[in-house]
């Protein structure tokens, strides 16, 4: 009996550290790795789709701002029913009647001049806008770039959420395995104790105590199973596989993080999309100052106008037909300080944008430092908890043997079992926390997903108003591999 009991203990303890045992083959199951899960989540996500729509809208606004600097052609047409003394005299002048060759005079007839049609064609080209058009183009360019960076940050968020859900499911499966093995172990112990009780080697109190312990472990197992199911539903929702069973290909592992905190902070300050977007917000606000200040300056446009008016549509009899071509200039001489108020408001927006940039920088440093500290703490706990598992397992084996030989009581065995279960749970928690905080650190520093935000910012220094440039930057800055 001693040999059987020892072998059972060792096999159960070993299986508890080998994996979850949760993922079983199923006809509708889908096997997913972490990278595959992230790819599925990025391909179809409502938040990403909304950010893409906002990005497209900002690009159209940029296109509209750029086209305002070009030629504008308009056609205006009117049709009116007319009357009054003026038009009656016009009718007598332009329609004296029908000539009668017999009498040699005009016979008055009904006058058709009761309608008036007018068609005006005008063309205008801005020559100088006082910085109004240029400022709007620059502002729209930085707004469009910020929308691109917001989309990238949304992708990074979806990536982190998916990794978090994937690690959470792995962790729940590991804890389910611990609960399952604890229940199996208690069940095996109960069978052995019942045999010993029937042989008169142990009192009935030990049987009752182990039955209570087994019931507690089974309750923990049910709870762990429920948590595992919830974690699977959450991952399935993110990857678009609702209603399917997901079998995870990867396991929680430990890979040392090779970078220092300073390197992580530098990476974050250089590549966090929202930091760059905040910087663009300052430039956009400064461009709006130029737009507001254009009210102080003159506007010069080249124009051409052609007008045709007649009592018949699109025809003329020489009565009213005009055209004009030239330059026109306009300038506010006195607007009751409206322009000054607009400039002051725009400058206040610049100050607000600068304060927002400072806040974003402080926030990203705090998030980077917090994630790094938590990751290093979990890293330390991994080695400590791994040693604790080995020690708890050895202690449990010794307590089991001593109880089997009648040297120790059942309380020592159940206490050792509790310590082993707690040590295994602590080990998986440390492993889970390390991977989770490492993923959180990648999110905090702005790990690129689709575009390199640093290259994007560098390219923006030249021509922020070109829509084609924005497309080219995104195409050329695809991320292949980063060490983070």
Q: Sort 173 into a burial class: Cβ within 10 Å, 0-12 / 13-18 / 19+.
A: buried
In a domain, 192, yes or no: yes
Query: 351 lies in a domain?
Result: yes
Reported as a single tens digit per residue, the pLDDT across 348-366 is 999 999 999 999 999 999 9
For the beta carbon of residue 311, count every other beta carbon within 10 angstroms: 21
**Could you report the per-residue pLDDT of 446-463, keeping only the tens digit for each?**
999 998 888 888 888 766
Each residue's pLDDT tens digit, 46-56: 999 999 999 99
What is the Cα–Cα distance from 364 to 446, expressed in whole angstroms? 9
186 located within any domain: yes
Residue 483 lies in a domain: no
Structure token digits, residue 403:
């109880």
Q: CA 399 to CA 414: how far, in whole Å?
A: 9
String of b and e for 385-419 (b: at least 16 CB within 10 Å)? bbebbeebbebbbebbbebbeeebbbebbbebbbb
The span from the CA of 337 to the CA of 345, in Å, is 12
Task: Look up the pTM and report it.
Answer: 0.82
Which tokens go with 289? 């100052």
For residues 370 and 447, give the distance between their C-alpha atoms in angstroms, rounded to a whole number: 16
Contact assessment for residue 304 and residue 325, using Cβ atoms and an 8 Å cutoff:
yes
Structural contact between residues 450 and 246, judged by C-beta atoms closer than 8 angstroms: no
Residue 309: C-alpha distances to residues 67, 82, 114, 124, 464 (Å):
31, 13, 13, 21, 46
What would the two tokens of residue 472 be? 């080219």
Q: For residue 237, tell me if it sits in a domain.
A: yes
Instruction: Tell me the two tokens of residue 107.
Output: 């016979």
Q: Is the pLDDT of residue 29 over 80?
A: yes
Tens digit of pLDDT for each residue in 369-419? 999 999 999 999 998 998 999 999 888 888 888 877 777 777 787 888 888
Rounded to an integer, the average pLDDT of 161-185 is 94
What pLDDT is attached to residue 107?
54
Instruction: Give the 3-state secondary structure of 309-351.
Output: EECCCCCCCCCEEEEEEEEEEECCCCCCCHHHHHHHHHHHHHH
Q: Is the pLDDT of residue 151 over 90?
A: yes
pLDDT 10s digits, 416-443:
888 888 999 999 999 999 999 999 999 9
What domain range includes position 395? Answer: 2-476
Q: How many residues does the chain have?
A: 484
Domain CATH code at residue 362: 1.20.1600.10
Domain count, the chain: 1
128 belongs to a structural domain: yes
DSSP-assigned letter for residue 295: G
169 CB-near residues (< 8 Å, 6+ apart): 228, 231, 232, 234, 235, 246, 248
Predicted confidence (pLDDT) at residue 479 exceeds the cutoff of 50: no
348 within a domain of the structure (yes/no): yes
Is 481 part of a structural domain of the chain?
no
Q: Cite the beta strand spans of 314-393 per DSSP E.
A: 320-330
The predicted model gives 177-200 an average pLDDT of 87
Q: What does pLDDT average to over the chain?
A: 84
Distance CA 279, CA 289 (A): 16
| Res. 24: pLDDT tops 70 | no
Dihedral sign (CA 274, 278, 279, 285): positive
Angstrom distances, CA of residue 110 to CA of 81, 92, 104, 318? 16, 10, 19, 22
- Quick one: pLDDT band at residue 445, thresholds 50, 70, 90? very high
């Amino acid at each position: 009996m001693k040999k059987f009991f020892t072998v059972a203990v060792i096999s159960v303890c070993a299986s508890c550290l080998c994996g979850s045992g949760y993922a079983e083959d199923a006809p509708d199951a889908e096997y997913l790795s972490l990278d595959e899960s992230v790819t599925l989540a990025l391909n179809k996500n409502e938040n990403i789709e909304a950010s893409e729509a906002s990005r497209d809208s900002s690009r159209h606004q940029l296109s509209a701002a750029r086209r305002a600097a070009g030629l504008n052609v308009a056609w205006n047409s009117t049709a009116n029913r007319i009357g009054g003394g003026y038009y009656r005299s016009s009718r007598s002048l332009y329609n004296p009647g029908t000539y009668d060759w017999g009498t040699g005079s005009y016979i008055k007839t009904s006058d058709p001049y009761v309608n008036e049609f007018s068609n005006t064609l005008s063309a205008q080209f801005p020559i100088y806008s006082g910085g109004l058009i240029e400022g709007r183009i620059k502002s729209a360019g930085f707004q469009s770039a910020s929308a691109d960076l917001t989309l990238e940050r949304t992708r990074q968020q979806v990536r982190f959420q998916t990794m978090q859900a994937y690690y959470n499911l792995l962790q729940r499966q590991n804890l389910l395995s611990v609960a399952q093995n604890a229940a199996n172990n208690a069940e095996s112990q109960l069978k052995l104790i019942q045999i010993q009780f029937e042989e008169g080697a142990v009192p009935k109190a030990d049987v009752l105590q182990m039955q209570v312990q087994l019931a507690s472990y089974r309750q923990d197992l049910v709870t762990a199973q429920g948590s595992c199911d919830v974690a699977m539903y959450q991952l399935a929702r993110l990857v678009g596989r609702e209603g399917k069973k997901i079998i995870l290909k990867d396991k929680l592992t430990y890979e040392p993080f090779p970078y220092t905190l300073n390197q992580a902070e530098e990476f974050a300050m250089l590549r966090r999309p929202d930091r760059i977007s905040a910087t663009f917000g300052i430039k956009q606000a400064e461009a709006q100052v130029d737009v507001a200040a254009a009210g102080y300056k003159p506007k010069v446009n080249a124009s051409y106008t052609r007008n045709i008016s007649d009592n018949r549509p699109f025809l003329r009899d020489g009565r009213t037909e005009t055209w004009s071509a030239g330059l026109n200039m306009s300038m506010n001489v006195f607007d009751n300080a409206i322009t000054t108020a607009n400039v002051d408001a725009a400058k206040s927006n610049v100050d607000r944008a600068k304060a927002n940039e400072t806040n974003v920088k402080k926030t990203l440093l705090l998030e980077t430092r917090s994630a790094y500290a938590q990751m290093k703490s979990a890293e330390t706990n991994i080695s400590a908890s791994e040693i604790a598992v080995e020690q708890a397992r050895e202690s449990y084996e010794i307590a089991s043997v001593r109880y089997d030989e009648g040297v120790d009581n059942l309380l020592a065995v159940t206490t050792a079992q509790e310590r082993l279960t707690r040590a295994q749970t602590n080990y998986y928690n440390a492993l889970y926390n390390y991977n989770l905080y490492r993923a959180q650190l990648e999110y905090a520093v702005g790990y690129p997903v689709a575009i390199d935000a640093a290259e994007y910012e560098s390219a923006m220094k030249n021509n922020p108003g070109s829509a084609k440039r924005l497309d080219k930057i995104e195409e050329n800055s695809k991320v292949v591999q980063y060490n983070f």
